[in-house]
Amino acid sequence: METRQRRPTGRPRGFDADEALERALLVFWERGYEGASLANLTDAMGISTTSMYATFGNKEELFRKALERYTEGPSAYLARALDEPTALGVVTAIFAGTVRTTTRPAGPNGCLGVQGALATGDSSRGARDLLVAWRDSGYSRIRERFERAVDDGDLPPETDPALLARYVTALAYGIAVQAAGGVGRDELQDMADLALRDWPPR
Amino acid sequence: METRQRRPTGRPRGFDADEALERALLVFWERGYEGASLANLTDAMGISTTSMYATFGNKEELFRKALERYTEGPSAYLARALDEPTALGVVTAIFAGTVRTTTRPAGPNGCLGVQGALATGDSSRGARDLLVAWRDSGYSRIRERFERAVDDGDLPPETDPALLARYVTALAYGIAVQAAGGVGRDELQDMADLALRDWPPR
DNA sequence: CTATTTCTGCATCGATCGATGCAGAAGGGT
DNA sequence: ACCCTTCTGCATCGATCGATGCAGAAATAG
């Protein structure tokens, strides 16, 4: 079978689509879906609206792809955290990753998955629902990881994995909201350490 | 001194400004500042744009007044909670109030102070900053209450009131974000109970 | 070279954004 | 009754929203 990608004929694209998507991600991250206008986005991407539509479809599609990039980039700490051998290690890594990602010195504060489209008008409902599903996916993966930890004896058998996952995600979202408001990295990390001092809550 | 409010001459207003503000509050709460258009607002308020501007100033002023109403209405549980005699009572009441307010069966899910304007474009920066200050005010009042609890011996002397207040607000915001995503009241209350089982975290 | 395909710059679309001007209606004070 | 103040309905403002049409530029295939 031929896995080599066939060279498309015709004039090649004059910009790097990956880099343009990264720029768009940063705009969405900082301003949210509704607050990011096409002009904001294309200015940052350095391309025309025509090129944006030809390459990414429309604004909602662009947001969807930016969110994918966010998941595999800034938010990749979650997947790595879930591979930690113990539940405590998982949660420690989740909190550390959340704090670091939501308070990057050069970059938007907060979490795209939270502030991207938490409450919107009708025209942005697609983006809002996308983020609801995104957050729910994160919650479910954490819950499943805790279920495994209970099975492994790593967490007490009376633990409710679903409730514990709600607790962890709530703290992560709370970190993100405070980071969006300008609360500093060290303070948030200290707070996460405080929460971790009693683990698991029972 | 004459405290009786003087009767304004001229044609009296043809609608109840308080009720109109309540309707506007609900729209802002559900759709956020940017997601709530003037048409959305005036439709819900049952008045014309002219009347809205004459009565409330402009969209940002309307939002500011709606937020005041929110603070004294749906969010009044915070002030009551701070009067609880013990720190544990305070936090218990804060979480209960947050859960109830963010999951009202008839009404928007989530918290206006969180989802009203978490990340925005330039034109909505005023509303965003207003909510940052609103959340910071809530945080400060909780911190001060914990400082008093330490002084009273209600909390251990080694307690860091600022960090503890960050922890409590983080959980409250986390509850609000999950409520905005449709997570149910009972589940969130169970999660809050779980967090309260170990108090204070140390 | 020519033919073909794709991409890009410019102009612009209809809809909606927040916000006003204006004239007449509607109620108060005297 | 009258006058005077305020409020309201209608029309509309310029700006911006997301999204396209079109023609020419640019690159590959033959």
pTM of the prediction? 0.96
A73-89 pLDDT per residue, tens: 999 999 999 999 999 99
Q: Which nucleotides of C are covered by protein (CB under 7 A)?
A: 4-11, 16-22, 25-29
Hey, is the C-beta of B195 within 8 angstroms of any chain A C-beta?
A: yes
Hey, is the C-beta of B178 within 8 angstroms of any chain A C-beta?
A: yes
Phi-psi region of B9 (alpha: psi -120 to 50; beta: other; left: phi over 0): beta
Q: Give the pLDDT band (50/70/90) at residue B10.
A: confident
Q: Which of A121, A135, A202 sits opposite B37 (nearest CB)?
A: A121
Q: Which chain A residues in 37-96 lie under 8 Å from chain B, judged by CB atoms?
A: 37, 40
Q: Give the pLDDT band (50/70/90) at residue A1.
A: very low
Contact B174 A171 (CB under 8 A): yes
For residue A72, pLDDT over 60 is answered with yes
A15-65 pLDDT per residue, tens: 999 999 999 999 999 999 999 999 999 999 999 999 999 999 999 999 999
Weakest mean pLDDT among A1-10, B81-90, B96-105, B109-118: A1-10
Token pair, residue A53, equals: 């539509």
Nearest to B175 by CA among A108, A169, A111, A37: A169
Radius of gyration of chain B (CA): 19
Residue whose structure tokens are 């279920």: A147
Residue type, B156: P
Q: Give the pLDDT band (50/70/90) at residue B4.
A: very low
Residue whose structure tokens are 């609890």: B149
B30-80 pLDDT per residue, tens: 999 999 999 999 999 999 999 999 999 999 999 999 999 999 999 999 999
Contact A34 B37 (CB under 8 A): no
For residue B124, pLDDT over 60 is answered with yes
Q: What pLDDT score was predicted for residue B146?
A: 98
Q: Give the pLDDT band (50/70/90) at residue B1.
A: very low
Residue type, B139: Y
For residue A120, pLDDT over 70 is answered with yes
The residues, ordered by sequence, that sit 6+ positions from A135 with a Cβ below 8 Å of its Cβ are A113, A114, A169, A173, B177, B178, B181
Nearest to A168 by CA among A90, A70, A105, A102: A90
Token pair, residue A34, equals: 């509704």
Q: What pLDDT score was predicted for residue B6?
A: 55
Contact A201 B202 (CB under 8 A): no
Q: Other C-beta atoms within 10 Å of A31: how many?
A: 24
Closest chain A CA to residue B198? A201
Question: What does the longest C-alpha to C-alpha distance in chain B come to?
Answer: 63
Closest chain B CA to residue A114? B177
Q: Give which of A134, A135, A173, A175 to mutate to test B binding, by max B Cβ within 10 Å.
A: A173
Instruction: Provide the CA B138 distance to its chain's centre, in angstroms.
Output: 9
Radius of gyration of chain A (CA): 19
Q: Are A167 and B191 in contact (CB under 8 A)?
A: yes
CA A113/CA B172 separation, integer angstroms? 18
CA A115/CA A31 separation, integer angstroms? 8
Tell me the average pLDDT of chain B. Answer: 95
Q: Which of A35, A174, A175 sits opposite B34 (nearest CB)?
A: A35
Residue type, A3: T
